[in-house]
Structure 1
Amino acid sequence: MLKLNQLDNISQLADLVICPLDSWDVIAVQGEDRISFLQGQLTCDINSLKIGEQTLAAQCTPQGKVCSLFHVILLEDRVLFLQPSSVTEKQLTALQKYAAFSKVKIHKDSEYQAITLLGEKSSDFISQELTTENISKSGLLLPNGMHISKQLTPSLRYLLVLKKEQGSALLKQLEDKATYHDDSLWNAMNIAAGMAFIEEINSEKFIPQMLNLQALDGISFTKGCYIGQETIARAKYRGANKRALFILSGHASCAPKAGDTLQLLLNNQWKRIGSVISACQYGDAHIEVLAVLPKDSQADDIYQIKEIEGSTLYLVALPYPLDN
């Protein structure tokens, strides 16, 4: 199984790549109150989702700080969350605290797993082997229970959430047809897409707008009350938020870690300016980073990772427009 540091850049990616998300968990919310319960917990409007659709969403503290940020997938008998494994224990504890008076069951789902397909031939494989139906960003639920969604940024890629026996069969089917990567590749793709997923070290530190969730259709400002909604609404309507998520690119001897400190060169001195959300490194020591910085950060600013001597980074344009 290849790792990201075996590639010098993303252009070296094979035509068909399969990437099991081994460091991600699938969380299930089941029970007759699951939709009404989650409507009062998540930033998205889950009432507006149809069976088989997915969206990004966050679960927040009463102060509006993001505990976890994840894909939400609506199935017929449950709602699934897909998120980094490191934050699962903290997130489950936070959700279950509010579930005492609702008919819901919240648990790490042992039936499902997530696998991604990437590369120029991924679309052909899906249409020939899985489904001929059109697959959109919101996703498609197949008759066998497999869920597929498509993302175009930074290049064509598909996210599959499926039962583990289906996943084993798919991996075996692609054994001689596809290149296998670990999920450092998926992390790199999310960074290039400007999509932040929270590790445990960054949990409960940022409001959703600091992670650009409003630009990724992960916040509803019309659905009514939910945990943390007052702070999130104030950030939008009163301009209370002064920070945002940015992509940075540069070189370093190793990849930064989530929670590392980003410094800005100002008057020939390094000043603490932000925090690393996620990062990756290619084989030629090129690094890409998602970090929370002041919204007025400038394109010609020079940055470094405090914990990595000699690192140098610059801002890269986001692939989407940013507002409040």
Structure 2
Amino acid sequence: MLKLSQLENISQLPDLALCPLDSWDLISVTGEDRITFLQGQLTCDLTSLKPGQQTLAAQCNPQGKAWSIFRVIVLEDRILLTQPSSVTAKQLPELQKYAAFSKVEINKETEYRAFGLVGRKSAQYIAEEVDTAATHDQSRLLESGTVIIKQPYPSLRYLAVMKNETAEELLEDLQNRAEIFDDSLWNAMNIASGIGFIEPETSGLFIPQMLNLQALDGISFTKGCYIGQETVARAKYRGANKRALFILTGRADDAPKAGDTVQILLNNNWKRCGTVISGCQYGDGHIEVLAVLPKDSSADDVYQIKEIEGSTLYYAPLPYQVEED
């Protein structure tokens, strides 16, 4: 299985690449109260979603800090939440403890699995081997139970969620037709997309707006109450949030890790200014980082990762606009 470190840059991406998301979990929420229960837990509006549709969302603590960020996928009989496996042990009990008085069950999903298809021929493969219409919609639920979700910038890519037996057949076919990468490639593309998923080191530290979730349609400000809603609303209506998610790029000997410290060069001295949410490193030593920094950070600033000696990073533009709170 190939790794991101075997690519010098994203331009070397093969025409078709498969990314089994082995370090990601699917959390399954079932039961007749699943929508109303999650409506009181997550920042998104579940009532507006139909089977086959999806959105980003955060689960917050009572102080409005995000335990995790998910991609929420609505199926006919369950709702799936995708997140890095590393944060599940911290996040899942926080969700389960509120379920005692609702008719829901919350567990790690065992009937479905997720993987990524990447590259300029990914749409062609899905059209020919899965479903032609699935390449045209933002997300589509097929009769087989498969959900195909078109992912944002930087390259054509799809998140596929399939029942185990369907996935086995497709993955067997892809073994001889695609380059197989571990999910370090998927992580790099999430970084380039400006989408910051939470790891244990950053769980419970940042309100959703610090992670740009309002710019990614992951927060509803009209849905009513949910855990942490008062803090999230105050950040919007009172301008209380002074931080945001940025992309930084540069060179370093190692890939930055979630929770690492970002420093800014001021008057020839390094000063702490932010926290790494996720980082990746290509084979030529080029690194890309998602970091929470002050909202007034400038494109002219110079940064480094405190834990990586000799690292130098600079501002890179996000592929979306972040409106003022």
Pick the TM interval, shorter chain. Answer: over 0.9
Question: Structure 1 residue 152: deviation in Å?
Answer: 3.7
* 1:249-293 CA distance string (max 9 Å, x none): 000000011000000000100000000000000001000000000
Residue pair 1:55, 1:138 contacting (<8 A) in 2 also: no
Residue pair 1:137, 1:151 contacting (<8 A) in 2 also: no
> For residues 290 and 304 of structure 1, what CA distance do their matches in structure 2 show?
13
* SS of equivalent residue, structure 1 residue 94: helix
Change (3 A) 1:27 1:47: same
Alignment gaps of 5+ in structure 2: none
Per the alignment, residue 161 of structure 1 pairs with: 161
> For residues 134 and 141 of structure 1, what CA distance do their matches in structure 2 show?
8
Tell me whether 1:298 sits opposite 2:298 in the alignment. Answer: yes
Identity over aligned pairs, percent: 69
Per the alignment, residue 61 of structure 2 pairs with: 61
* 1:138-186 CA distance string (max 9 Å, x none): 4100100000010240111000011122222111111111100000000
Alignment gaps of 5+ in structure 1: none
Residue pair 2:126, 2:135 contacting (<8 A) in 1 also: no
* SS of equivalent residue, structure 1 residue 98: coil
> For residues 30 and 99 of structure 2, what CA distance do their matches in structure 1 show?
11
**Counterpart residue type for residue 51 of structure 1:** P
> For residues 258 and 134 of structure 2, what CA distance do their matches in structure 1 show?
36
- After TM superposition, list the pairs within 5 Å mapping 1:13-32 onto structure 2: 13-32=13-32
Residue pair 2:262, 2:275 contacting (<8 A) in 1 also: yes
Residue pair 1:136, 1:149 contacting (<8 A) in 2 also: no
Tell me whether 1:265 sits opposite 2:265 in the alignment. Answer: yes
* SS of equivalent residue, structure 1 residue 133: helix
Residue pair 1:263, 1:303 contacting (<8 A) in 2 also: yes
Tell me whether 1:321 sits opposite 2:317 in the alignment. Answer: no
Per the alignment, residue 283 of structure 1 pairs with: 283
> For residues 175 and 136 of structure 1, what CA distance do their matches in structure 2 show?
25
> For residues 255 and 198 of structure 2, what CA distance do their matches in structure 1 show?
17
* 1:19-71 CA distance string (max 9 Å, x none): 10000000000011100000000000000001110100000001000001010
Change (3 A) 1:138 1:100: farther
Per the alignment, residue 240 of structure 1 pairs with: 240
* 1:99-138 CA distance string (max 9 Å, x none): 1100100000111111110101000000011001144664
* SS of equivalent residue, structure 2 residue 133: coil
Bigger drift between 41-50 and 144-153 goes to: 144-153
Per the alignment, residue 45 of structure 1 pairs with: 45
Give the alignment's TM-score, normalised by structure 1.
Answer: 0.99
- After TM superposition, list the pairs within 5 Å mapping 1:111-150 onto structure 2: 111-135=111-135, 138-150=138-150
Tell me whether 1:73 sits opposite 2:80 in the alignment. Answer: no
> For residues 312 and 137 of structure 1, what CA distance do their matches in structure 2 show?
40
Cα RMSD between the aligned structures?
Answer: 0.9
Question: Structure 1 residue 89: deviation in Å?
Answer: 1.5
> For residues 99 and 147 of structure 1, what CA distance do their matches in structure 2 show?
26
> For residues 164 and 141 of structure 2, what CA distance do their matches in structure 1 show?
16
Give the alignment's TM-score, normalised by structure 2.
Answer: 0.98
Residue pair 2:126, 2:134 contacting (<8 A) in 1 also: no
Per the alignment, residue 110 of structure 1 pairs with: 110
Change (3 A) 1:303 1:4: same
Per the alignment, residue 216 of structure 2 pairs with: 216
> For residues 52 and 237 of structure 2, what CA distance do their matches in structure 1 show?
32
**Counterpart residue type for residue 105 of structure 2:** K
**Counterpart residue type for residue 113 of structure 2:** Q
> For residues 152 and 262 of structure 1, what CA distance do their matches in structure 2 show?
26
> For residues 272 and 136 of structure 2, what CA distance do their matches in structure 1 show?
40
Change (3 A) 1:256 1:214: same
Change (3 A) 1:261 1:114: same
